Structure 1
Amino acid sequence: MATAPARPTTARGPRLPASLTPAVLRRLAGRVSASPDATRVTTSAPYTGVPLADLPVSTPADVEDAFARARIAQRTWAATPLAERRKILLRYHDLVLARQDEALDLMQAENGKTRRDAFLEVVDIAIVSRYYARNAARYLAPKRRRGAIPLLTHTTEIRHPKGVVAVVSPWNYPLSMAASDTLAALAAGNAVVQKPDPQTALTALWSMELMYEAGLPEGVWQMVIGRGSSIGGALMDNADYMMFTGSTATGRAIASDAGKRLIGASLELGGKNPMIVLDDADIEKAAEGAVAACFPSAGQLCVSVERLYVAESVRDAFLAAFTARTKRLRIGAAYDYGADVGSLTTPAQLKTVTEHVADAVAKGATVLPGGRARPDLGPLFHEPTILTDVTPDMTLHSQETFGPVVSVYSFRDVDDAVEQANATAYGLNASVWSRDGRRGRAVAARVHAGTVNVNEAFAAAWGSVDAPMGGMGDSGLGRRHGAEGILKYTEPQTIAHQRLQGFSPPSRIAPRTWAALLTGGLRALKALGVR
């Protein structure tokens, strides 16, 4: 049975790593763009509930000042040759890998995730920084386009940076979400003013500090701290483009405000992601994959699975394997690689998880493993939980839980599986399991989601940074990664140089005759296969 959420009081747990000295925490907090007499906000370490960071809070005026400085710095940065920008991104890549223990300590201290989950963020940022360092010039280089009149029209597409991009990043993946979108914006020649969630701001500030160490000119990347209700309006009023990762409700408001200002916005929002286990799946591998799909970062992952659909013929075997593997997971708080599942990050998230589970149980859901908060481990821990017999009247049936909880359903055939998987307003990520790769890919193409992984949870699509990543429906607009991930931060401009004769008739030819000549020319171009 589910229990009430533990109160976030101080609990016994691991001490902060030696790398996180008071001097280091003060140095990072000092990089926030805020006035010297700013009010302060204190964050707590999820493992123990003890105070962690003391951060200055930015005001709307501080945000405006940050944008003013960024606009000055951006002009110089945009004029910096792409070859130099490339070197800075590659130096940043090397620094992230060389000093990863600092990042891992910060992420665990602020977020409460396990070290293995934190390490995947280091991997992600290394891949993204290398990718845009090596590919930005190809995406941003001037491109010849077909002219209006063959041989007579010289047409070129060039790309200009948007200017100053606002990046609003969440607490659940404090390094990945703080840096990956920013790296692409910087590679394109933009400056960035970023608002990370205060709970994990130290990790974002550490990433920014490393980029400056790599050679980024001062002022090109700035950080502000505060509630969206306080400084969100200043961000929107000053931004040339908005990149937001967070809730669907907030994303809708940002899209509306961006539309009023006629600026672009890219929004990665919520999800209720499905996993489909077909009747020919390797059951042991699918069960292992389900654990990897549902419980990383204590389920606080936008692309993690919360709905699991299993073919009726293999349901019992799969549930037995999945349950056994889930029961073996090690839950704990430690700054090493020993734990499989860490803590939730905030009291609000623990409250949501426990309320969703309690509501489902009260209405008839069956708990296999899990179902309980674990205050004995720390104030915000919750067991990995598998539920069956979940019905549409239960809150977690359709609403995102964002915790270590998954509901398991069965299906009759592939059409039934696809119909159930698509029965949601969301469409962020999905997973399909089959021994037949071709069959798995065919089913994947029918699922309404921006990314679908075959025989993998989410890492295959997420790590394929040459391909776009983002959501359909209520899961958002726009894409990160690949060409779209950098080109969205640019304004395309077409320059067309017309030589000799254009579409207007020469003075010596009558308009009717000219129209007949052009008509014949158009027919000839079609016959010749000209595009």
Structure 2
Amino acid sequence: MNATIAPHMQPERDVHADARAAQSRWSVTPMRERLRVVRALRHLIAENADRLASIAASVSDRPIAEKLVSEVLPLADACRWLDKCADRVLATRRCGSRRRPFWMQGVTFEVQRQPFGLVLVIGPSNYPLFLPAVHALHALAGGNAVLLKPAPGTRHVALAFAQLAREAGLDPALLTILPESVQAARSAIADGVDKVIFTGSSENGRDILATLAETNTPSVMELSGQDAVLVFADADLDLVVRALRFGTTLNDSETCIAPRRLIVIGNVPEQLRQFEVPERIPSFEVPEGLRKLAGGASHRITDETRTRPGRGAGNSPVDSAVPPGRIPDGDDVRWLAPPANFHRPSGTNGDAVPPEMRDDCIAPIPMHVVPDEAAAIALVNSADFALGCSIFSRDIARARTLAARIKTGFVLINDLIAPTADPRMPFGGVKASGFGTTRGDEGLLEMTFPHVVAIRHGHSRPHFDAPDQGDAHLFSAYIRAAHGTHRFAAFRDLFRSLITKLKTRKTRP
């Protein structure tokens, strides 16, 4: 079946009331029925893959092939993962007598996963199809209704996805596409939502958090990153160079987990000295952690810093660019320079400064040379942002040991960016890169909250009775018998206390 994708404007209506009414019905819809919609949507995405990619590519004038593999394919994979795994992840967990405390005899309970209700998804502009759509799908699979606020210039992408969802059988009231304006998100929050999933900058995330704090509305914040690439001396350097070229060109480098700094452990290999940063990279400022180590303020490369004397200075594409302040002994900050043959786009001027070094043109990737693993870990963990990190080494065991000490949301070994598109993999950062998780088991669980139902079987409810004289000794003996080291003596005291308790009850009038 072919779907007609028409990114038309939706009529004005009371979206909150309609969404909540639809959600109350959707929440009690059996999981197999919800997933039937997801399955049908997956097939429609496949049949309309080229058209979806074209619509997504129109936002930033990217190649269709890139959008097919970076947005459409991961979205279809996410649908399949939900179809196969959502029932397991959201299944009710029942706890009977296994590992139950002795004094809780007769108690059983079950943990249900309940939908929050109305979820607001605020999407980014860099991946206008995949990111907001996968968040919306996880929320819908969890039994929620969704208000999707697209980034400026991307509403037609969101509407195309919503139309396919409707053709797959989804109640239109369960997925409402809001206007692109910031005010649309503010109005939605003011009217009342039950959870917010935000993808964007740390600054905007803090603004939204301040608003949500007024009503204690929970959220997931998927914020900025300044990801580091760690290179060991034994790394496959050809692979490293290919990875850097891929990471700095994918989606015009508008990817939150694109490489923003390179950390080399030991000497700088010749391949990295000769690596040229591709031409279209956004301007980059030294991360806060690097500024702290350098003792200086925010620093951009300029003609002055390029010619400043120091290790690596000269005609090599890797030149010394030391920010103001002292660099710790044994460390070396250098920069991967842009191509020497890069020319400023037409319509610009300022020939006094070489085009490849102008501040408003391309800024290079900082390369920090450290003597050992401890220094590399300290540098990564000192940064304000902590979304992801990549390690390149032929010694996988060594890389895994290092990865365990890095405090970021994820670490990739011998790869860059691509593994995060795996629908099984949870995604999220810490510190200034946000909190909470999207995608994978953990991301689906984020769309629900644990609702516990406990049952007390039998007639015994001793805790309802007023404490008797001697109960304190009984409780103390039980704690020592259950958890202490001298358990034989404790059991003896417990037995005596129970006998005393029974005798007291018999003599009670």
TM-score (norm: length of structure 2): 0.77
Q: Is the 8 Å Cα contact of residues 241 and 271 (structure 2) preserved in structure 1?
A: no
Matched, 1:492 2:450: yes
Aligned to 2:41: 92
Aligned to 2:313: none
Aligned to 1:232: 185
Q: Distance in 2 between matches of 1:370 and 1:300?
A: 23
For residues 204-353 of structure 1, the aligned pairs below 5 Å read 204-228=158-182, 230-237=183-190, 238-320=192-274, 322-323=275-276
Aligned to 2:438: 480
Query: Secondary structure, in 3 states, of the residue corresponding to 2:269?
Result: helix
Q: Distance in 1 between matches of 2:426 and 2:340?
A: 35
Query: Secondary structure, in 3 states, of the residue corresponding to 2:210?
Result: helix
Matched, 1:501 2:455: no
Shift of 1:488: 1.7
Q: Distance in 1 between matches of 2:447 and 2:425?
A: 17
Aligned to 1:44: none
Using the aligned pairs only, state the percent identity.
26
Letter in structure 2 aligned against 1:158: Q
Q: Is the 8 Å Cα contact of residues 295 and 404 (structure 1) preserved in structure 2?
A: no
* CA deviation map 1:47-81 (0-9, x unaligned): xxxxxxxxxxxxxxx6xx21121111111111111
Matched, 1:369 2:310: no
CA gap of 1:368–1:231, structure 2 versus 1, over 3 A, is closer
Matched, 1:175 2:129: yes
Matched, 1:114 2:63: yes
Q: Distance in 1 between matches of 2:186 and 2:344?
A: 39
Query: Secondary structure, in 3 states, of the residue corresponding to 1:157?
Result: strand
* CA deviation map 1:97-121 (0-9, x unaligned): 2211011111111222223321221
Q: List runs of 5+ in structure 1 lacking aligned partners.
A: 1-18, 36-61, 332-342, 345-349, 378-384, 388-393
Query: Secondary structure, in 3 states, of the residue corresponding to 2:365?
Result: strand
Q: Distance in 2 between matches of 1:517 and 1:497?
A: 26
Q: Is the 8 Å Cα contact of residues 343 and 356 (structure 2) preserved in structure 1?
A: no
Higher Cα radius of gyration: 2
Shift of 1:363: 4.4
Letter in structure 2 aligned against 1:416: A
For residues 16-35 of structure 1, the aligned pairs below 5 Å read 27-30=6-9, 32=10, 35=12
Shift of 1:213: 1.2
Aligned to 1:15: none
Matched, 1:449 2:408: yes
Q: List runs of 5+ in structure 2 lacking aligned partners.
A: 288-297, 307-318, 320-336, 348-354, 488-509
Query: Secondary structure, in 3 states, of the residue corresponding to 1:118?
Result: helix
Coordinate RMSD, CA, aligned = 3.3
Q: Is the 8 Å Cα contact of residues 284 and 318 (structure 1) preserved in structure 2?
A: no
For residues 351-500 of structure 1, the aligned pairs below 5 Å read 359-365=300-306, 367-369=337-339, 375=345, 406-460=365-419, 462-499=420-457, 500=459
CA gap of 1:319–1:501, structure 2 versus 1, over 3 A, is farther
Aligned to 1:511: 468
Q: Is the 8 Å Cα contact of residues 222 and 429 (structure 2) preserved in structure 1?
A: yes
Shift of 1:438: 0.8
Letter in structure 1 aligned against 2:435: L
CA gap of 1:419–1:315, structure 2 versus 1, over 3 A, is farther
Aligned to 2:79: 129
CA gap of 1:422–1:364, structure 2 versus 1, over 3 A, is same
TM-score (norm: length of structure 1): 0.74
Q: Is the 8 Å Cα contact of residues 299 and 405 (structure 1) preserved in structure 2?
A: no
Q: Is the 8 Å Cα contact of residues 315 and 410 (structure 1) preserved in structure 2?
A: no
Count of residue pairs the alignment pairs up: 430
Q: Distance in 1 between matches of 2:32 and 2:344?
A: 52
